[in-house]
Amino acid sequence: MGDGSGDTVLRAGALPLYHQLQHLMRNAIESGRWAPGQRLPGERELMRQYGVSRTTVREALEALARDGLVVRQQGRGTFVAPRPLIATLARLQGFTEELQALGRPVGVTVLHAGPVPAPPEAAEALQLEPGARVVEISRVVVLDGQPLFTDESFLLPGPGRLVLAAEPGQTIYAALEAVGFKPATGEQTIEAAPATRREAQHLGIRPGEPVLLIRRVTRMADGAPLEYRRVAYRGDRYRYRVALVRQPPGEPARA
């Protein structure tokens, strides 16, 4: 695979040649022999190494691109795609806390932090009158040197002002807990949505391209709303994993 492991000539058989080549290249990526961001050998080198036609090489690369494993850049070549972040839905935690728990290097750029009139959906979630003042904290979060998501957090004025005065580097949830407003439960929806112009600008994509849009309402233990958050992830860089348990009909629900 261009890493000193030697040449391998593919043979005609039950599987099409492009499928065999795709499988070998997938293994090289998933095993880590080809790292995220690494440039793949060119088409001619792959043809020589595997004894296949240009058509076979292109079909294999197109299949890998459809699966999100490689990114083809006009005039530059084909590169291993960044590994998507895979998260679970088991715990209430902040979106940057999620990354930190996985040991991933995170960069955060604050776009705005201060009082604003509540957008309609934030006012409804926080049980406020339309246009009531809230504290907005908007950020762009970068993972592995590339933008991963935009994060718009809208907080009730009291706790929001305290979060603004918190020590730099604290996550929003950690800052809330430090001043006595403890997030206890959350409700969120996840859907595919077209990127707004602002989201696209910060995520490095075109307006209207699909993002994974998450809307969350965070509450305290007594059920009172504390925060409304809108997060837009690049759809090619984030996945959710959900564990499911089969419950036979008639059995009582598990706690």
Calculate the CA dihedral of residues 84, 89, 93, 98 and round it to 10 degrees: -20
CB 93 within 8 A of CB 184: no
> pTM above 0.75?
no
Instruction: Name the β-bridge partners of 108.
Output: 141
What's the pLDDT score for residue 141?
Answer: 87
| pLDDT tens across the length of the chain (255 residues) | 444 344 455 666 667 888 888 888 888 887 878 888 889 988 899 988 888 899 999 999 988 888 778 888 877 889 887 766 555 545 555 556 565 555 566 788 899 999 999 999 999 999 999 889 999 999 998 877 788 889 999 999 999 999 999 877 788 888 999 989 999 998 988 899 999 999 999 998 899 999 989 999 999 999 999 999 999 988 776 665 656 566 677 666 554
Which H or E element spans position 49?
A: helix 43-50
Structural domains of the chain, ranges and CATH numbers in brackets: 17-80 (1.10.10.10), 85-241 (3.40.1410.10)
Q: Which of 186, 157, 165 is CA-nearest to residue 94?
A: 186
Asked if residues 25 and 64 have their Cβ atoms less than 8 Å apart, the reply is yes
Distance of CA 218 to the CA centre of its chain: 20
pLDDT score of 123: 96
Distances (CA, A) of 31 to 18, 23, 109, 204: 20, 12, 32, 28
Collapsing DSSP to helix, strand or coil, 125 comes out as helix
CA pair distance 97, 112, nearest whole angstrom: 20
228 phi and psi angles, rounded to 5 deg: -120, 135
Q: Are 149 and 126 in contact (CB under 8 A)?
A: no
What pLDDT is stored for residue 87 in this prediction?
Answer: 52
Contact 63, 22 (CB under 8 A): yes
Q: Which helix (H) or strand (E) holds 64?
A: helix 54-66
